[in-house]
Structure 1
Amino acid sequence: MDLLTNLDSFLNRPFISQITFFDLFSVGIILIIAIVAPTLIQKYIKRGLGDKLDHSNVELASTLIRYLIYIFAFLLILPFLHLDLSGLFVAGGIIALALAFAAQNIVSNFISGIFLMIERPIKTGDTVIIGSTWATVQTIQMMSTIVRGFDGIYIRIPNSKLFTSEITNLVINPARRFEYTIGIRYKDDAGKAIAIIRELIDKQPYALKSPGPSVYVDKLDDSSVNLMVRVWAPSLFWWGLRTELLWKIKVELEKNGIQIPFPQRELWFNNILKTDMKTVKAPPIKDIPYQEIEPQSKIGKPKPGETHDW
């Protein structure tokens, strides 16, 4: 009993002002829990929901829970500090109002991050178009999203702006289609060209069979017969197949004597134009020797009635 009495007396002994050792011990326990708990919860989320949620959404959920734990721990610590906050209510209300205006963008970004986590329009690694920016999503955070443009530049987009922007996700669908318009000459065999292109597409390992490709005559243009080529490919290999196949089609068509034409214009006259060209002989030009022409400064001004024969 004496040991317990002494321990209770020690814990309730004032350390600083009204703060006792028990208060310090309680604050320490709360801080340790606030530091350790988010890590344990993050591991549990990754194990339990890692297969169901995207990595970026797991990170968002972990960050949100961490912030909530920090706020809850702060509220638990306040009573142990024995702070008299009654005098700060009026000033605190004014400060809170000022902070609300100053932090509205922060709150907006935070809430938008939560909605992005719930709606999940994008995830890490997706190729997207945000406004006029083509980029790959690198990280989705609570306040902002980091994307990398095709030129290698990293761009930070606030979540509030991202949430209200038009987002085109190029890889959310497992398959994606691309198309070409290929012109051939009128004298070339369009059926043969279509057969060559179809055979070439069938040899491509990433060209999907279902939905299958389509090749057909699309338009009779001024200088060419235009063939439309449409191919479906997995989203991950879409760009590589699109760039590689076009060059192979050009090479294969040229091997078979099918040329890609250039614009030409043929002029045709209904009546034969007749011209009557006459040779006109120009009159001889009298040459005046240089030495016979003297500067006027040497001759002087002509006298009245005097003329010069040049």
Structure 2
Amino acid sequence: MILPDTNFLDLGLPTSNGTVTLGSLLKFVVILSFWMIFSRILTIYLRRSLKDRVSKDVGEPILKLLYYGSLIVVFISILPLIGIDPSGLLLAGGVAGIVIGFASQNIVGNLVSGCFLMFERPIKIGDQVEINGIAGYVTDIRIISTLMRTYDGLLVRIPNQQVFTTNITNIVGHPVRRFEYTIRIRYSDDASAAIWLIKDLIDKEPFALLSPSPSVFVNDLGDSWVNITVRIWAPVSEWFGLKTRLLWNIKKTLEENGIEIPYPQRVLHIKSETEKKPQVAEEPKENEFEKNEPVLNFEERVLN
């Protein structure tokens, strides 16, 4: 049996750290490729295993850290196969990192802010938030930036430094949320009856929480109406639906019971003069006759 000639694998390339053969270079590529495939398969397996145990916003950063971290460790450990000293590479990388850090402070700031966001977790994937005037759903929290999908369906990328240093309003961060109405009725209507009707509607809503209890009261006396304030707590998942549905039901119920929402009114008082002063004719002044006299004399001379 004739075996293939493998002497060509012993051909070497001299480097500062020794001779690199074609076989060692091939071994470097095989090990790195195998570990990339193995890390990808392991990541997929862990993602499926932790799907029901760990939330997505916690599991995804951990899986990414394990994947890229293992690749870096394996890559550095097999560098001697291609004649590169890892200690010298780390030293050069440290110096290059300092230079790049000064040149790209914003990127480094976003990177550090992304790490803080992953550990502090003020927001999670799927939360409804408002960040820097942008409201929507958090779709992904990456190392450099955070992705959001607005209520209009737009994809917005926000640098993590802005996310970490600005005010964040997490709409679904608390399990319950309060909403408020201001209902206006006429002065001629019975405010006590209006309050009773509104409370009866709230009691019929299954998602209106009893603790904290709802409150309905007269808050202000306006120019042409009485202001009734309505405050209700609801689960955050049912907050918007209850708010829109209950407001329309209050309007219809009040109108059915003769209680109307008034329009702005203004009362104008107009005074008319019943007696008019008699007009007195002005007597001609002597100066006017004197001015017209030369004209009259001129007409008489022409007629004659």
TM-score, with structure 1 as normaliser: 0.76
How does 1:54-73 map onto structure 2 within 5 Å?
A: 54-73=55-74
Contact kept? 1:125, 1:137, Cα under 8 Å: yes
Change (3 A) 1:47 1:89: closer
Contact kept? 1:217, 1:228, Cα under 8 Å: yes
Change (3 A) 1:205 1:188: same
Change (3 A) 1:89 1:44: closer
Contact kept? 1:38, 1:69, Cα under 8 Å: no
How does 1:93-242 map onto structure 2 within 5 Å?
A: 95-242=96-243
Which of the residues 23, 26, 33 maps onto 1:24?
Answer: 26
Contact kept? 1:109, 1:142, Cα under 8 Å: yes
Letter in 2 for 1:37: S
Deviation string 1:56-104 (CA, Å, 9 cap, x unpaired) is 2211221222221222222123211114799999987775443222343
User: Which residue does the alignment assign to 1:289?
Assistant: none
Change (3 A) 1:278 1:227: same
Change (3 A) 1:64 1:130: same
Please report how far the alpha carbon of residue 281 of structure 1 lies from its aligned counterpart in structure 2 after TM superposition.
Answer: 10
Contact kept? 2:184, 2:225, Cα under 8 Å: yes
Letter in 1 for 2:70: I
Contact kept? 2:24, 2:82, Cα under 8 Å: no
Q: Distance in 1 between matches of 2:225 and 2:205?
A: 27
| Partner-residue secondary structure (3-state), 2:238 | helix
Letter in 2 for 1:113: G
**Do residues 33 (structure 1) and 35 (structure 2) align?**
yes
Q: Distance in 2 between matches of 1:25 and 1:108?
A: 38
Q: Distance in 2 between matches of 1:91 and 1:258?
A: 80
Change (3 A) 1:110 1:155: same
User: Which residue does the alignment assign to 1:276?
Assistant: 275
Please report how far the alpha carbon of residue 190 of structure 1 lies from its aligned counterpart in structure 2 after TM superposition.
Answer: 1.0
RMSD, matched Cα: 3.5
Q: Which runs of 5+ in 2 are unaligned?
A: 283-296
Please report how far the alpha carbon of residue 235 of structure 1 lies from its aligned counterpart in structure 2 after TM superposition.
Answer: 0.8
Please report how far the alpha carbon of residue 15 of structure 1 lies from its aligned counterpart in structure 2 after TM superposition.
Answer: 5.3
Please report how far the alpha carbon of residue 43 of structure 1 lies from its aligned counterpart in structure 2 after TM superposition.
Answer: 3.0
Deviation string 1:210-251 (CA, Å, 9 cap, x unpaired) is 223211111222221111101111112211221221122111
Q: Distance in 2 between matches of 1:262 and 1:103?
A: 60
**Do residues 13 (structure 1) and 15 (structure 2) align?**
no
Percent of residue pairs identical: 44
Aligned residues between the structures:
279
Q: Distance in 2 between matches of 1:99 and 1:242?
A: 52
Q: Distance in 2 between matches of 1:306 and 1:106?
A: 103
User: Which residue does the alignment assign to 1:293?
Assistant: none
Q: Which moved more, 1:246-255 or 1:38-47?
A: 38-47
| Partner-residue secondary structure (3-state), 2:237 | helix
Q: Distance in 2 between matches of 1:164 and 1:65?
A: 27
User: Which residue does the alignment assign to 2:259?
Assistant: 258
User: Which residue does the alignment assign to 1:292?
Assistant: none
Q: Distance in 1 between matches of 2:214 and 2:241?
A: 17
Q: Distance in 1 between matches of 2:233 and 2:279?
A: 72
Please report how far the alpha carbon of residue 175 of structure 1 lies from its aligned counterpart in structure 2 after TM superposition.
Answer: 0.8
